[in-house]
Amino acid sequence: MSIFEACKSIGSKEAAERAGLHLKKRGGKHWASCFLHEDKTPSLAIYEDGGWYCFSCNNGGDAVKLYELLYNLQPMAAAQQLASAFGLSEAPQTAPKRVVNPATTAREIDTIKWRRVSRLLDIKHAASKRIREIEEGKTTLTDADMDKVFAQVARKSAAEDLIERIELLSGDDLKDWVLKGVKIDDL
């Protein structure tokens, strides 16, 4: 079996998510801003059958083509990288430097920062609500609940620390992360 045949088992949705693209389900497709050009509204559609197509720049294909264009690789290198990322080969997992359109770099940096801080704020607010309920006596605690309460306090504290660290990151630091293909949970 060739590496291209092995990669046919990987859908574009999974490949896009692994690469850090932000997907939003709408109708029978997942949508994202195209990484090849500046998008005011998402124009890249990912289909349930595993393919993808950008309605603005008319590029499309399978997961290998997505990696090829996203990471600026030759087809064989893109297939090897994809297979490696999904554990389909013995090839070493090296993350290629992602080629980012300069027009979208600033927007990607802001999006990464905003999405990570939003997740952390959700954790912080959920923990704060639980703690408030306990302090106001709205929740009765048993000994078994105490571990959960301590975990909530720890999550709140960790979220606050991470939010502060992310807010202190410079634009250049985030740009370097974006060019390396950073994922939100890596921050």
> One digit per residue, pLDDT tens: the chain, 187 residues?
688 888 988 999 999 999 888 899 998 899 999 988 888 889 999 998 889 999 999 999 999 999 999 988 898 999 999 998 898 854 444 445 555 555 566 666 666 666 666 776 777 777 777 777 777 877 766 766 666 666 666 666 666 666 666 666 666 666 666 666 655 455 4
Question: From residue 27, how far is each of 46, 57, 61, 101 by CA, in Å?
Answer: 11, 21, 20, 28
Question: What is the spatial distance between Cα 13 and Cα 23, in angstroms, rounded to a whole number?
Answer: 8
Spatial CA neighbour of 34 closest among 109, 120, 95, 100: 100
Whole-model pTM? 0.49
Q: H or E stretch including 52? A: strand 52-54
Question: What is the spatial distance between Cα 29 and Cα 51, in angstroms, rounded to a whole number?
Answer: 10
